[in-house]
Chain A
Amino acid sequence: MRTVLEVRSVTKSFGGLIAVNNFSMDVREREIVGLIGPNGAGKTTLLNLITGFLKPDKGKIIFMGEDITGLPPHKICIKGIARTFQLIKPFPKLSILDAIAVGVLARVRSKVEAYKRAQEVIKFLGLKDPHRLCESLNVVEEKLVELGRALATKPKLLLIDEIAAGLRPNEVEFIKKAIRTIRDEYNMSIIVVEHVMPLVMGVSDRVVVMSSGSKIAEGKPEEVASNPKVISIYLGERRGKMLGVKA
């Protein structure tokens, strides 16, 4: 399988704090990679480095064989990487339709065409009444719009940052199905940054574990879940409860 994204020995520090430390990972075509780790492990910083919101101090980011290190976010989006935000950044005064059409405009020039494709994304996500303003939506709808906007840019790689935080179990289940369908229907690679274990363990082909800016484990979900290093650093005593696996 082709490699879509290569993160090569990337380091980023803020003042004295090293947020991401000589970190490397790759993502292959049509692969769903779960990125987990305790709070402050550097996951969101890593996403910001990949999407150009931050520039690495050292290291390179290669996307589809091309060095994209240091490009501004809008150029990286056009290259084919889209993201959602952990703290969602909605367009409160735009309608659902408008918000998603904004994403489509990354690929098409015509407004008519943008609305047509936005309607398809809205249908795919099962959002109702697309003329409602984004400020009037509930949490689940807000997150779906955030996801829909990113999808609308037709990425080859989608980064989903803690989308399940604060959702009910049945909603998490819905998101899980949506992520799989996105991969299958849109043929894209996905990185899922997540704290909600049932989601990340259920959906990922491979899991990368980050702690204090470094990679401490990598492998199939069940391998990672039973890795003693991961359990001690990240999952602690609650492992059984969270994963439903016996150590």
Chain B
Amino acid sequence: MFKISLSQRSAPILLAIVFLLVLPLVVRQEYWIYVMTVGFYYAILASTWNVMAGFLGRVSFAHAAFAAIGAYASALSVLHLGIPPVVGMFIGMAAGAVFSLFIGYLSLRLRGVYFTLSTLAFAEIFRIVVTVEYEYTRGSLGLETPGLIGGTLTYVPYYYIALAILLGTIFSIYVILNSAFGLKIKAVGNSEEAAEALGINTAKVKVIMFMFTSAITSFAGAFYGHLVGLVSPEIGAFDQLALVIAMTVVGGLGTLPGPVIGALLLEVVSEYLREFGIFRLLIFAGLIIVTLRFFRRGIYGTLKQVIFGG
């Protein structure tokens, strides 16, 4: 019998971080650096979606929509106000915070499935408005946005920026979940009524976390817009949401590393499956079903069980 010490537990995490830091130095193909950068973007979305779904038990269907809100808010302010894209990203984040406060305040006090339905309705409304308001958004053609860094021909800086945002996101989630407030979050996720009876303002906890996760998602979405150079309603489309859900579930719902593992893995795999086009979603849906049926803890949870026996 020996206890897993902190260093033993954090060793794999440090190793993974070092691996991701040196990866662009080893893999010198721009294409794969780009794929990994997009993978980081999805990992941020999956990690934040996982906080709501995996720890608070609330499923948001507006997660991809919030990425699109951030992307549009940043792109529009850069194009019309002439501000640098970095500032635009923070405007995108603020837009996500404002919208999520609005939806969260209206729907998170409702019980059960109503929150999910409200986010679904919101995501649809947002998509339609963006598509119809051609004058401002150029509809489904999309807005061309300047890159984050002018004049660069390589994706390596984007790679490191995305990695930094991802690490910052996971670190803040880790700190929150391990704080006194985090214990309240887990209590709400386990039983809302019991948490309420024990003096926890459950509505407040949910709204704060919805704002926090949505704002980060919008920030990441704004980054994605400047990475790709084109902001279209596609960013907020349902298949993007489905992809994020698949990544989280396959990686390990309710764990911290799970969504990151799932996101990077599925993003790389989906590059190999590119020729299948939209049918990739079918494969991912199948993966979700297989995971839920046979490995409920996802890749990370299952590995942890096999290695540490618990």
Query: Which chain A residues have a beta carbon within 8 Å of chain B's beta carbons?
Result: 51, 53, 72-74, 77-78, 82-83, 85, 89-94, 98-99, 101-103, 105-106, 109-111, 114, 149-150, 152-153
Is the pair B193, A85 in contact by a Cβ cutoff of 8 Å? yes
CB distance from A140 to the nearest CB of B (A): 18
- Assess whether B201 is in contact with A89, with CB atoms less than 8 Å apart: no
Residues of B within 8 A of A101 (CB): 183
B255 to chain A, nearest CB (A): 12
Asked if residues A153 and B186 are in contact (CB atoms below 8 Å), the reply is no
Find chain B residues with CB under 8 A from A83 CB: 197
Q: Are A109 and B198 in contact (CB under 8 A)?
A: no
Instruction: Assess whether A91 is in contact with B199, with CB atoms less than 8 Å apart.
Output: no
A110 touching B197 by the CB < 8 A rule? no
- Determine if B200 and A93 form an interchain contact, defined as CB atoms under 8 angstroms apart: no
**Are B193 and A89 neighbours in the complex by a CB distance under 8 Å?**
yes
Task: Indicate if the CB atoms of A102 and B197 lie closer than 8 Å.
Answer: no
What's the Cα separation between A245 and B199 when bound, in Å?
42
Would you give the shortest CB distance from B52 to chain A, in whole angstroms?
A: 16
Q: How far is the CA of A191 from the CA of B193 in the complex (A)?
A: 20
B192-230 to A contact mask, C-beta < 8 Å, 1/0: 011111111110000000000000000000000000000
Do A153 and B198 contact each other (CB < 8 Å), given the known contacts A94-B187, A98-B186, A111-B183?
yes
B196 touches A85 (CB 8 A): no
Q: List 13 A-B contacts (CB under 8 A).
A: A74-B197, A74-B199, A85-B194, A89-B191, A89-B193, A91-B191, A91-B194, A94-B190, A99-B187, A102-B184, A109-B180, A111-B183, A153-B198
B179 at the interface (CB under 8 A from A): yes
Contact B183 A102, beta carbon cutoff 8 Å: yes
Q: B180, A111: Cβ atoms under 8 Å? A: yes
| Interface residue tally on B, bucketed by range | 10 to 19
Q: How far is the CB of B112 from chain A (nearest CB, A)?
A: 15
Whether B198 contacts A92 by the Cβ 8 Å rule is: no
Question: Are the C-beta atoms of B196 and A74 separated by less than 8 Å?
Answer: yes
Asked if A89 meets B194 with Cβ closer than 8 Å, knowing A77-B199, A102-B200, the reply is yes
Complex CA distance for A72 and B201, rounded to whole angstroms: 9
B184 cross-chain contacts in A, Cβ below 8 A = 102, 105
Contacts of B200 in A (CB 8 A): 74, 102, 105-106
Residues from chain B with Cβ under 8 Å of A82 in the complex: 197-198
Tell me if B198 and A72 are in contact (CB < 8 A).
no
What is the CA–CA distance of A137 and B202 in the complex, to the nearest angstrom? Answer: 25
Residue of B nearest to A81 (CB): B197
Q: Which residues of B contact A109 (CB under 8 A)?
A: 180
B196 touches A149 (CB 8 A): no
Chain B contacts of A114 at CB under 8 A?
180, 183
Instruction: With both chains docked as a complex, state the minimum distance between the C-beta of A88 and any C-beta of chain B, in angstroms.
Output: 9
Whether A102 and B187, one on each chain, are in contact in the complex, defined by CB atoms closer than 8 angstroms, is: yes
Q: Please name 8 further chain A to chain B contacts, defined as beta carbons within 8 Å, in addition to the given A99-B187, A149-B198, sorted by A numbering.
A: A72-B196, A72-B201, A89-B197, A93-B190, A101-B183, A149-B194, A150-B198, A153-B199
The answer for the CA separation of A91 and B202 in the assembled complex, in Å, is 14
Residues of A within 8 A of B189 (CB): 93
- Give the chain B neighbours of A91 by CB distance below 8 A: 186-187, 190-191, 194
A111 in contact with B179 (CB, 8 Å): yes
| Residues A90 and B196 in contact, CB atoms below 8 Å apart | no
Cβ–Cβ < 8 Å partners of A90 in chain B: 190-191, 194
The docked-state distance in angstroms from the alpha carbon of A92 to that of B184 is: 14
Bound Cα distance A102, B179 (Å) = 12
Whole-angstrom distance between the Cβ of B194 and the nearest chain A Cβ: 4
A74 to B199, CA, bound (A): 4
Q: Decide: A103 and B183 in contact? CB cutoff 8 A.
A: no
B residues near A111, Cβ cutoff 8 Å? 179-180, 183
| A147 CB to nearest B CB, Å | 12
Interface 1/0 per residue, B160-197 and A, CB below 8 Å: 00000000000000000001100110110111011111
A residues less than 8 Å from B187 (CB atoms): 91, 94, 99, 102
Distance in Å from the Cβ of B265 to the closest Cβ of chain A?
25
Q: Are A73 and B183 closer than 8 Å at their CB atoms?
A: no
Whether the Cβ atoms of B180 and A74 lie closer than 8 Å is no
Chain A residue numbers with a CB within 8 Å of B193 are 53, 85, 89
Interchain CA distance A110-B181 in the complex, whole Å: 10
Inter-chain CA distance A98–B184, complex, in Å, is 10
Q: What 10 pairs across the A-B complex have the smallest Cβ distances?
A: A106-B199, A77-B199, A91-B190, A89-B194, A111-B180, A89-B191, A102-B187, A73-B196, A74-B201, A103-B198
Q: Contacts A73-B197, A82-B197, A149-B198 hold; do A105 and B190 have CB atoms under 8 A apart?
A: no
Q: A85-B197, A90-B194, A149-B194 are in contact. Are A74 and B186 (CB under 8 A)?
A: no
Residues of B within 8 A of A78 (CB): 199
